[in-house]
Structure 1
Amino acid sequence: MSSRKENEQRTLDIVAGRTDGSGDAGARPAKSGLGGMEMAGIALWLLVLAGGGLVAVYYFMLAPK
Structure 2
Amino acid sequence: MPETNWKFITKAPRACGPLLLRTGSGNLDGVFIGHQDPDDGRWYSSEGHIVLPRYFAQIPLFDCEEGA
TM-score, L = length of structure 1: 0.22
Rg bigger for which structure? 1
TM-score, L = length of structure 2: 0.22
> Which one has a larger percent strand, Structure 1 or Structure 2?
2
Greater RCO structure (CA 8 Å; 6+ sep): 2
